[in-house]
Amino acid sequence: MKLLVVGSGGREHAIAKKLLESKGVDQVFVAPGNAGMTLDGLERLNIKIHEHSKLIAFAKENEIAWTFIGPDDALAAGIVDDFAQAGLKAFGPSRLAAELEWSKDFAKQIMVKYQVPTAASGTFTDFKEAEAYIQKKGAPIVVKADGLALGKGVVVAETIDEAVAAAHAMLLENKFGDSGARVVIEEFLVGEEFSLFAFVNGEQFYLMPTAQDHKRAYDGDRGPNTGGMGAYAPVAHLPKDVVDRTVETILKPILKGMIEEGRPYLGILYCGLILTADGPKVIEFNARFGDPETQVILPRLTSDFAQNLTDILAGKEPELTWLEDGVTLGVVVASEGYPLAYDRGIQLPAKTQGDIITYYAGARFAKNSQALLSDGGRVYMLVTTADTVQAAQSRIYKTLEGQKMQGLFYRSDIGDKAN
Ligand code: AMP
Ligand code: GLY
């Protein structure tokens, strides 16, 4: 069996590597992928994620069994619908089902309609009305661009002025383009954040271990929001009943609601959650795997990933098995300056061997050589599985200290909340 993965980041590296390790899988292509992936035997295609007809032509000519769609913008652009129309299978939600992610207002409406717990909110296109709402509710308060914004469209405002400035930037200064032409303004929730991912086909769902991301750029959850600087799974210190409560109050009603709305969900559903004093509440839904959570979740899967996804696509029960013990933890190495401006072209250390996996995100080959150079904000991630969080941390951080790091940085407290 030959498979295709669409996307280019660390998440897609982890997905494609796991698929290639599956029995019965001969080749895994990644479009467009990154140079680091080829060190694991993955084959890159020179096709961009928005070139649907080229991807479809490749899949047909090469008898790809099915295609895994990694990124949110591809799903929002209807890639799964285009594949279906061409008679091809793709693992991911249709454009209408993916609206759970690409419109925060849609997600809010459906949560309210099906009584899924989330922060109280209002949606605005008019700045004056948004400002009046902020004045009425007070701070702290959260201002979010409605559409996709590379994880940067959320402002957690400590003051009314900051919130009003964010709404102004989105609605009047066009800072996020069309994504910010509508804003959702919501209540600030207090509690510990965690993510729950599920494989979904309609009302059937299969849970993955819980994970915790670290979104801020610097230690102690300081600095700007990023795509995610590190993660671990499972989040063992969460109260025992949290996953059950999330399933009963959030996952089941939302999947049922999506069917009732004529948008049955197929793919990965990512629930971004805060455990408040009133139980888990939704911060956001994503219609895809998270990055970097995937890189710590998939190494824990002990069953045959490709077979599992083949079964889910066919509406069959997959035989999923996971590591029961220990913890998987990973630290992202990013370019200095990320998530703002940064340089590219920094020489990267050699790929790790043994019990540390290197997943590449922003990496390319130097001209005429096999040396890897940085080529993005998040560059690579080291991941390991150990008995305890502390053991995993010490193994990863010891390795990172031994790697030459000029022009790159990483957080030194990934996993501390679990200790
Ligand atoms: P998002 O891009 O929606 O994941 O939001 C980025 C980050 O903003 C989240 O990971 C949270 O830390 C924070 N955040 C978003 N919404 C809320 C909220 N309603 N209350 C508190 N923090 C929030
Ligand atoms: N780790 C956050 C995200 O993938 O959106």
Smallest CA-to-CA distance from 103 within 29, 179, 160 is with 179
Is residue 375 within 6 Å of ligand 2 at its C-beta? Answer: no
Distance 12 CA to ligand 2 centre (A): 13
pLDDT class of 240 with cuts at 50, 70, 90: confident
Inform me whether the pLDDT recorded for 8 exceeds 80.
yes
Q: What is the pLDDT of residue 152?
A: 77
Tell me the ligand closest to 283's alpha carbon: 1
Is residue 189 within 6 Å of ligand 1 at its C-beta? Answer: yes
Inform me whether the pLDDT recorded for 327 exceeds 90.
yes
Quick: pLDDT tens for 54-66: 999 999 999 999 9
**Residue 291: its H or E element:** none
Q: Which atom of ligand 1 is nearest to the CA of 283?
A: 16
Q: What is the pLDDT of residue 370?
A: 87
Q: What is the pLDDT of residue 399?
A: 97
SS3 state at 5: strand
**pTM of the full structure:** 0.96
Is residue 293 within 6 Å of ligand 2 at its C-beta? Answer: yes
Tokens representing residue 146 in the block: 């409605």
Residue with tokens 């790159």: 408
Distance 409 CA to ligand 1 centre (A): 23
Mean pLDDT of 123-135: 97
SS3 state at 91: strand
Give yes or no for a contact between 180 and 147, defined as CB atoms under 8 angstroms apart: yes
Is residue 286 within 6 Å of ligand 2 at its C-beta? Answer: yes
Helices 252-260 & 104-113 angle (0-180, nearest 10): 100
Distance 416 CA to ligand 2 centre (A): 19
SS3 state at 2: strand
**Average confidence score pLDDT of the chain:** 96
Distance 135 CA to ligand 1 centre (A): 20
3-state secondary structure 190-219: CCEEEEEEEEEECCEEEECCCEEECCEEEH
Phi and psi angles of residue 62, each rounded to the nearest 5 degrees, phi first: -105, 10
Cα 175 to Cα 159: distance, rounded to the nearest angstrom: 20
Q: What is the pLDDT of residue 316?
A: 97
Q: Which atom of ligand 2 is nearest to the CA of 291?
A: 4
Q: Which atom of ligand 1 is nearest to the CA of 119?
A: 19
Quick: pLDDT tens for 170-183: 999 999 989 999 99
pLDDT class of 253 with cuts at 50, 70, 90: very high
Distance 47 CA to ligand 2 centre (A): 24
Inform me whether the pLDDT recorded for 150 exceeds 80.
no
Is residue 290 within 6 Å of ligand 2 at its C-beta? Answer: yes
User: From residue 99, how far is each of 73, 77, 328 by CA, in Å?
Assistant: 11, 10, 31
pLDDT class of 151 with cuts at 50, 70, 90: confident
Residue with tokens 């790091």: 405
Is residue 223 within 6 Å of ligand 2 at its C-beta? Answer: no
| 325, burial (CB in 10 Å: exposed 0-12, middle 13-18, buried 19+) | exposed
Length of the chain: 419
Inform me whether the pLDDT recorded for 87 exceeds 80.
yes
Quick: pLDDT tens for 365-386: 999 888 999 999 999 999 999 9
Is residue 119 within 6 Å of ligand 1 at its C-beta? Answer: yes
Tell me the ligand closest to 361's alpha carbon: 2
Quick: pLDDT tens for 280-305: 999 999 999 999 999 999 999 999 99
Is residue 193 within 6 Å of ligand 1 at its C-beta? Answer: yes
Cα 398 to Cα 368: distance, rounded to the nearest angstrom: 32
Mean pLDDT of 228-244: 95
Mean pLDDT of 343-347: 96
Tell me the ligand closest to 224's alpha carbon: 1
Greatest CA span in the chain, whole angstroms? 61
Distance 269 CA to ligand 1 centre (A): 17
Smallest CA-to-CA distance from 97 within 80, 114, 116 is with 80
Inform me whether the pLDDT recorded for 149 exceeds 90.
no
Q: Which atom of ligand 1 is nearest to the CA of 190?
A: 21
Distance 35 CA to ligand 2 centre (A): 22
Q: How far is CA 23 from the centre of its chain?
A: 26
Inform me whether the pLDDT recorded for 225 exceeds 90.
no
SS3 state at 171: helix
Give the number of other CB atoms < 10 A from CB of residue 316.
12
Q: Which residues in 169-185 are b (16+ Cβ under 10 Å) and which e?
A: bbbeeebbeebbebbbb
Cα 404 to Cα 348: distance, rounded to the nearest angstrom: 8
Give yes or no for a contact between 258 and 100, defined as CB atoms under 8 angstroms apart: yes
β-partners of residue 295 are none
Distance 101 CA to ligand 1 centre (A): 14
The set of residues, in sequence order, having a beta carbon less than 8 Å from that of 169 and lying 6+ positions away, is 175, 180
Angle at 415 between CA 386 and CA 305, to 5 degrees: 55
Cα 298 to Cα 213: distance, rounded to the nearest angstrom: 15
Inform me whether the pLDDT recorded for 157 exceeds 90.
yes
Inform me whether the pLDDT recorded for 404 exceeds 80.
no
Quick: pLDDT tens for 191-201: 999 999 999 99
Smallest CA-to-CA distance from 333 within 417, 415, 418, 405 is with 405
Q: Ligand 1 pocket test: which of 137, 142, 288 has the largest number of ligand atoms within 8 Å of its C-beta?
A: 142
Q: Which atom of ligand 1 is nearest to the CA of 144?
A: 3
Quick: pLDDT tens for 18-59: 999 999 999 999 999 999 999 999 999 999 999 999 999 999
Query: If you take atom 3 of ligand 2, which residue's CA is the nearest one?
Result: 290
Q: Which atom of ligand 1 is nearest to the CA of 153?
A: 2
Mean pLDDT of 129-134: 98
